[in-house]
Amino acid sequence: MKFYIFLKKLLAQFVDDYQKYFAKTFGYAILWTILCFAIGQLLAAYSDYDPNTTIQPLSILSYFSLNFSLNTTYSFVDLFKVIFIFFVSIFSIKLLKKSSFKAILYLTATLIICALLDFSFFKIGGLIRPFIRNNYLFVWSYSILALLRLYVPFILFALAIQLNIAKLQFSFKTLLFLFISIWLFYEVSYELLRFLRDNVFALILVPFKTKIYSYVMESLLGLPLVAAMFIGYYCAMTAPFNILRERNN
C-alpha cells in the first residue's frame, strides 16, 4: 500500500471513529481518566527524585510530557504514561468487544514488560554517559532512548490488542505504519494540550494564587481533554492493522 493511500484512510478512520464512538464512550473514558490520574498522583507522591532536579509539575498533565528521572535516580512517576496507555488498551478491547481474561492477562503482562523496559532505557542512558565524548553523539543517543521510552509502550500494547483479535501477522511496513499513526496522534494531542494549557488554562487560573489550587484546577480542566483522547489513541493503535487487513482481503 502506498503511503498517501494509507494516510488518507487513516485520517478518515480518525474522523469516523470520533463520530461513531465519542458520544457513546466519553463518560466511560472519564472514569478511566479519573482512575489514571489517581494512580499517577500516588506515583508522584511516593516516587524518589534526584536532589538536583529543577522540574516542578504544574498539574497532573505535566507527567504526560515530562520525565522526572534524572542522573541515577529513577522516578516511578515516569510510568504514568505507561499506565495511561494500559487503560487506553483496556478501553480499546472493550470497544472491540474482545474483552476476556486472556486479553486482560496479555495487557497486564505488557504493562509489566513496558515498566521494565522504561527502567532499562533510563539505566542504559546512565551507563553510556561516561563513554560518549562527542556531544552530538550524546544528544543523539539520549534522543533515541527518549523516543524508545515514549513509543515502545504504544507499539507493544497495540500488538497485545491485536493478539486478542486475530492471528498476529505483521511486517516492517505494519510496524512503520503503526508508528506513524501513533506519532501523528501523539503530536496533535500534545500540541493541542500545550496550546490549551498556555493560552486557555493559564488565563482561567489567574485568580488562583497558591500552587496547590492551581495544580488541582489545571488537573480538573485537563480531565475531559485527556478523556477525549481515548478514542484517538484507540484509532491510532488499531487502525493501521485494520487498513492493511482490508487491503489484503
* Domain that includes residue 198, residue range: 3-248
pLDDT at residue 219, rounded to an integer: 93
Give the chain's count of helices (H) and strands (E): 8, 0
Percent of the chain with pLDDT over 90: 64
Mean pLDDT of the chain: 91
- Could you identify the residue written with the cell 484546577? 217
Work out whether the CA dihedral 101, 103, 105, 108 comes out positive or negative. Answer: negative
pLDDT at residue 228, rounded to an integer: 96
Task: Give 97's DSSP letter.
Answer: T
Q: Which is more confidently placed, 187 or 52?
A: 187
pTM exceeds 0.85, yes or no: yes
Judged by DSSP in three states, 188 sits in helix
From start to end of 76-197, where are the E strands?
none
Confidence label for 168 from pLDDT (cuts 50, 70 and 90): low
> How many angstroms separate the CA atoms of 55 and 100, rounded?
40
> How many angstroms separate the CA atoms of 143 and 121, rounded?
11
- Structural domain total, the chain: 1
- 198 has a pLDDT exceeding 80: yes
Backbone angles phi, psi at 239, to 5 degrees: -60, -40
pLDDT at residue 194, rounded to an integer: 92
pLDDT tens readout for residues 112-155: 999 999 999 999 988 888 888 888 998 899 999 999 999 999 99
pLDDT at residue 211, rounded to an integer: 84
- Got the DSSP string for 26-57? HHHHHHHHHHHHHHHHHHHHH----TT-----
pLDDT tens readout for residues 3-55: 888 899 999 999 999 999 999 999 999 999 999 999 999 999 998 888 888 88
